[in-house]
Amino acid sequence: MDSSDPQKNEYASPLMLSARSKLMIVGIGLVAAVYFGFIEPAKQHMAALEKQCGQLTQIVKQMQGHETAAAKGLQLIEVLDRQGNKLAEAEISLNKLIAMRERLVQESQEVVEAISTLERLHTVQHKVVGYNKTLVQLTDTFAEMDEVASALADSNDVALQAKRSLKSLSDMQTEMVHGITAVSEQLTALENKIQSRVSKLPEAEQTLAQLDELCQQLNSESTNVVTATRKLAGLAQLKNDVLDHSVRLSEAQELMNSIWDLQDGLLRSGQTIKAAQKMVVEVMLMEPAVDQAVAALKPMRDFYRISRREAVQAEAGAPQKPTTARSPTQNTQAQGTWAEVLKVAVTMLLPLG
């Protein structure tokens, strides 16, 4: 049997099982046929003959005392002779049947031994199939080991490149540490600048309060346009101071943006960088308020420019054409607009303090 073909072995094992079961069935059938077909009837026939012999013997004994029964006795003797001959033949047949039964028993034992041999062969066949599969797996494993060995041989260059890359990464890490140190120093300087800028916010609030007072004075002095223009010039100077503060805050915002670009590097520097991030977040939270303050002061700047231009035009055209005085209602509306703008600016800048 070829053990290298597992499919043939799998198909052969059911055939062997069916042949073995057929042999067992045939052996059992032969034993049953011999027993019920020959041995059992022979036993019954022998018992019947023995019973008849016993009856004839009793009859002969009874007839010995009668002279008239001599003829019948002769007939009975002849019958007994024939029965004795049949009994001898039956004994011969019985002996043959017993010999046949013993032979069948021996053959059945041989069949059982053959069946056990077939079972052992079937077990050996399964083991051979398992060994064949194991050999195939070992062959595949050896092939994979050869591939791994070749890959390891090819990976020497990769290992050298990895060492070079690790060295370059170490250099980059050193540069990163120096960069983080420099950024930390810049953050310290930025924190000092922001603290100084924040310390100037109360001055801006005071300036805006002065602007509010000046607006109230402008409302009370609406009849004197020239004086109001001069005071507007002072307001413009104050506005420029406030804008100067906003420009400085814009510079802080640009510096904050540059620091924001370095966020990825700062995330790896530990607790010091986290504190710097919190400070940057605070600066970012201040940015919308500063933008709103600048946007609120823009109408005031435009209004001041328009008023200044009108005042210059009025002064330039005074000799040729009389100046048309503004009505108190117009002055009151303009000054009310100024007051609203300044109040909005104060409202925007108060959270910065």
Of 156, 175, 190, the residue that ends a domain is 156
pLDDT of residue 288: 63
Q: Tell me the pLDDT of the chain averaged across its residues.
A: 64
pLDDT in tens, 72-117: 666 766 776 777 677 777 777 777 777 777 777 777 677 777 777 7
Of 130, 156, 182, the residue that ends a domain is 156
pLDDT of residue 226: 59
What is the extent of the structural domain holding 332?
Answer: 200-352
Q: How many domains does the chain have?
A: 2
Q: Is 169 part of a structural domain of the chain? A: no
Does one domain contain both 148 and 41? Answer: yes
The span from the CA of 90 to the CA of 92, in Å, is 5
Does one domain contain both 245 and 307? Answer: yes
Of 156, 177, 212, the residue that ends a domain is 156
pLDDT of residue 153: 60
DSSP assignment letter at 353: -
CA dihedral 270, 275, 281, 285 (to 10 degrees): 170
Q: Which of 8-22, 64-78, 136-150, 208-222 has the lowest mean pLDDT?
A: 8-22
Contacts of 114 (CB under 8 A, 6+ apart): 23
pLDDT in tens, 143-201: 777 676 666 666 556 556 656 766 776 677 677 667 667 766 776 777 677 677 666 66
pLDDT surpassing 50 at residue 4:
no
Q: Which of 44-48, 233-237, 346-350 has the lowest mean pLDDT?
A: 346-350
Q: Is 246 part of a structural domain of the chain? A: yes
Does one domain contain both 108 and 252? Answer: no
pLDDT of residue 323: 44
Q: Is 193 part of a structural domain of the chain? A: no
Does one domain contain both 214 and 121? Answer: no
Does one domain contain both 102 and 18? Answer: yes
pTM for the full model? 0.23
Does one domain contain both 88 and 204? Answer: no
Q: Is 325 part of a structural domain of the chain? A: yes
